Amino acid sequence: MLKNKVAVVTGGTRGIGYATVKKFLENGAAVVLFGSRQETVDKALASLKAENPAWEVYGAWPDLADAEAVAGEVGKVKETLGKIDILVNNAGMSDSTPIDNYTAQQFAKVMQLNVSAMMNCIMPTVKIMKEQGGGCILNTSSMVSICGQPSGVAYPTSKSAVNGLTWSLARELGPSRIRVNAVAPGITKTDMVAALPKEMIDPLINAIPLRRVGEPEDIANAFLFLASDMASYVTGEILSVDGAMRT
């Protein structure tokens, strides 16, 4: 589905990001995964190469909060692979801090990684996509961007901002043939969720109409569809992948 495409995936060393990188590689793309540290990037690359040595996968670890560093790495992708067809903005952090314990620094930290860093990736990539005549930008939102959560207000606030960014850029960049969409995962079996005890997981599952926690591959499949030509007339959408758990 992505034969001869070039993709950049941030937060690509584990969880949803890693599953998305693997799904894209399985479908013929060349992928550059961004991670936070060289050791995690190297580990992810080694795992992927062990699975299929023929996969064209590379790695980098820019500080996503540093706009110049990100622009430099994005430029290297263009120089090395000739183009960037797909950008998946998946890097981010969750938060459950009660309002009484918030500091301005904590709130700003969440917003910086979940929103500002996303824009740091988008801006240089858009220039490349405009020059080449089009592309696809995909953002990781969240179920809580739609319904909120009981504590940790910075996280749903940041993901609501991701939705606004997605809708607005879709309208602005449509004439340049750049599609912009987001995926809003529900509870997904990342490392953090997998480590929760059964007595915490069971009530969550009972609140999901499909009666199961999502797998990273479920989210990766949504990204694959939106990145592919099957979604060539889809832009400005927030695709919920949450088993209908939206309250």
CA distance 126 to 117: 15
Could you say which of 58, 102, 155, 233 is catalytic?
155
Q: Are strands 135-140 and 178-185 parallel, antiparallel or unpaired?
A: parallel
Rounded to whole angstroms, the Cα distance separating 44 from 210 reads: 31
> What residue type is 25 in one-letter code?
L
Q: How many of the other CB atoms lie within 10 Å of CB of 50?
A: 8
- Other C-beta atoms lying within 10 Å of the C-beta of residue 145: 22
Structure tokens at 52: 């299929």
58 is catalytic: no
Q: What are the catalytic residues?
A: 155
